[in-house]
């Protein structure tokens, strides 16, 4: 049989399995025109069909050159055409007789391997009607058409991608933490049990507690900075369909005389309704946010969160029966009314000498002496370690790793030995303010606060000596998200499907957020 474009083409024999009729055709060579409606045993090859395996049998066409009939005639029944005649065997180009069936199968396997993995864009689809040959204008359009990124297929039974489960989109949760020094927001989506994927985040140093230790009130400048940051958070929250949110304020609003008045202003200007949490709730949230960083071998842990206006410390004894919520293992906790902002304002954070640094350490040690906590919490050095979650410990880790710029992925979860922490504190104490500000992991915004945080850390290390400390770049926001998701049961199998059908509890007004 001769093809009008490429000369002689082989004939086709064989049949297609009935179950493959609905699948997309995998053509190997450009389809030629049907030659004669009266010869059902002779058909043309599809585009690029050179695999050499059993080919495609077609029914006779009523009119020559009918492209649509050629496409429809790809359906075969057990190797027989419409007239009931078997088609002739596939004859390779230049060979007059049919090869042995085993040779045909071997040739087909070789060609299939050869063509496997080629991009789908290289295959030319056949027109719906008319000739099977692609016209030049159509070919030019196909070649100039921009490529579309290929979406990888997910087989049935494979694990869903983040944010999906059982074919449903997982809900969004939001957590906002307005602290003494920072305003932070996280919007996340639950994924695997106990984990979530961050969809959006915001963090800005506002120094809400600036001057609070001396006056007992929030200054107008500090409140203005905080309101501007909260407006950004409000815009992010309103742009997404948040199922549930919790917005909290901590020590600055808790201890200031005008803290409640400031939150009324925040609601009027931003629409956000913040709640002031107590110190115990703050300590439990810090533990919840860092629960995944507690080693499985640990029997006891001291977790501390050095904030801007207060420092929370939780003593955790795990024992043999570990709960899914690490906060249930808290045996003792305390909240020191001192943070990096308040301590640096009292002792000076810009120019710190070894004497002034020791004065800060002694002040914190005096506060810790009032904390009634048994001293036998350490079973063995291998079973006990510290966990620090604050800008102080993350800064120490970043400087220790000598990062050209701060990278949370490298800092979060890193272990520091006791000797490494001591060396890093001595290194920072040897730097002046300009040297600290020039470090990319400190910067000018934290250069006057980092040594005050090191003094609080040193007092904690003296009270609970440990061979190692784990650094956590996480805290209250992660604890808020973890608690909300656990309360809603989004990580329990099948629970989300029922919640999805019932709809969100109150999509118009998430918890803690004004409409």
At 409-455, the pLDDT tens digits run 999 999 999 999 999 999 999 999 999 999 999 999 899 999 999 99
The secondary structure element, H or E, covering residue 2 is strand 2-3
**Does 162 score more than 70 pLDDT?**
no
**Does 157 score more than 60 pLDDT?**
no
Give the pLDDT score at 439.
94
Give the pLDDT score at 125.
41
- Burial label for 25, CB within 10 Å (0-12, 13-18, 19+), is middle
Give the pLDDT score at 10.
44
Q: Beta strand 242-249 with 172-178: parallel, antiparallel or unpaired? A: parallel
Stretch 333-342: mean pLDDT: 92
d(CA 393, CA 411): 9
Please choose, from the candidates 277, 387, 281, the residue with its C-alpha nearest in 3D space to the C-alpha of residue 327.
281
Structural tokens at position 96: 């007059």
Q: What is the mean pLDDT of the chain?
A: 74
- C-beta of residue 333 within 8 angstroms of C-beta of residue 312: yes
At 176-190, the pLDDT tens digits run 999 999 999 999 999
Q: Beta strand 330-336 with 300-306: parallel, antiparallel or unpaired? A: unpaired
At 97-134, the pLDDT tens digits run 445 555 555 666 666 665 555 544 444 444 433 333 43
As a three-state string, the secondary structure of 208-238 is CCCCHHHHCCCCHHHHHHHHHHHHHHHHHHH
Give the pLDDT score at 491.
83
- Burial label for 330, CB within 10 Å (0-12, 13-18, 19+), is middle
Which regions of 192-308 does DSSP assign to beta strands (E)? 196-205, 242-249, 275-276, 300-306
Structural tokens at position 259: 């803290």
The secondary structure element, H or E, covering residue 340 is helix 340-347
Give the pLDDT score at 292.
82
Structural tokens at position 170: 């997982």
Residues recorded for the chain: 515
Lowest mean pLDDT among 129-138, 146-155, 309-318, 378-387: 146-155
Query: Would the pTM of this model clear 0.85, i.e. be above it?
Result: no
What region, left, alpha or beta, does residue 194 occupy, with left being phi > 0 and alpha being psi -120 to 50 degrees? left
């Amino acid at each position: 049989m001769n093809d009008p474009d490429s000369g002689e083409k082989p004939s086709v024999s064989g049949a297609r399995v009935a179950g493959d009729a609905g699948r997309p055709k995998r053509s190997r060579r450009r389809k030629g025109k049907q030659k004669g409606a009266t010869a059902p045993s002779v058909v043309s090859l599809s585009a690029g069909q050179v695999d050499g395996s059993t080919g495609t049998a077609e029914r006779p066409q009523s009119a020559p050159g009918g492209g649509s009939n050629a496409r429809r005639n790809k359906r075969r029944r057990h190797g027989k055409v419409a007239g009931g005649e078997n088609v002739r065997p596939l004859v390779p180009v230049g060979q007059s007789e049919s090869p042995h069936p085993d040779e045909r199968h071997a040739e087909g396997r070789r060609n299939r391997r050869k063509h496997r993995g080629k991009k789908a864009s290289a295959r030319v689809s056949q027109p719906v009607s008319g000739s099977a040959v692609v016209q030049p204008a159509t070919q030019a359009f196909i070649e100039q058409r921009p490529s579309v990124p290929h979406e990888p297929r997910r087989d049935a039974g494979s694990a869903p991608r983040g944010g999906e489960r059982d074919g449903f989109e997982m809900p969004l949760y939001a957590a906002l933490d307005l602290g003494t020094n920072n305003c932070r927001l996280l919007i996340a989506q639950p994924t695997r049990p106990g984990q979530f994927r961050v969809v959006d985040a915001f963090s800005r140093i506002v120094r809400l507690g600036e001057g609070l230790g001396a006056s007992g009130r929030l200054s107008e400048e500090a409140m203005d900075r905080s309101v501007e940051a909260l407006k950004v958070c409000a815009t992010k929250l309103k742009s997404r369909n948040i199922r549930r949110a919790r917005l909290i304020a901590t020590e600055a609003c808790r201890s200031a005389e005008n803290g409640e008045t400031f939150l009324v202003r925040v609601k009027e200007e931003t629409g956000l309704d913040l709640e002031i949490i107590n110190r115990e709730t703050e300590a439990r949230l810090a533990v919840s946010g860092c629960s995944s960083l507690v080693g499985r071998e640990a029997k006891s842990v001291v977790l501390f969160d050095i904030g801007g206006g207060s420092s929370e410390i939780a003593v955790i004894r795990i024992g043999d029966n570990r709960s899914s919520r690490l906060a249930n293992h808290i045996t003792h906790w305390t909240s020191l009314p001192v943070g990096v902002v308040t301590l640096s304002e009292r002792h000076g954070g810009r120019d710190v000498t070894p004497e002034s640094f020791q004065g800060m350490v002694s002040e914190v040690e005096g506060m810790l002496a009032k904390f009634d906590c048994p001293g036998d919490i350490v079973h063995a050095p291998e079973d006990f370690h510290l966990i620090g979650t604050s800008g102080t410990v993350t800064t120490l880790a970043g400087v220790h790793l000598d990062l050209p710029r701060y990278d949370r992925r490298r800092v979060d979860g890193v272990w520091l030995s006791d000797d490494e922490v001591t060396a890093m504190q001595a290194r920072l104490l040897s730097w002046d303010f300009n040297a600290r500000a020039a470090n990319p992991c400190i910067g000018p915004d934290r250069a006057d606060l980092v040594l005050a945080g090191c003094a609080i850390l040193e007092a904690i290390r003296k009270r609970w000596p440990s061979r190692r400390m784990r650094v956590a770049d996480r805290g209250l926001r992660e604890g808020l998200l973890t608690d909300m998701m656990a309360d809603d049961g989004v990580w329990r199998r099948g629970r989300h499907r029922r919640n999805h059908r019932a709809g969100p509890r109150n999509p118009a007004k998430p918890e803690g957020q004004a409409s």
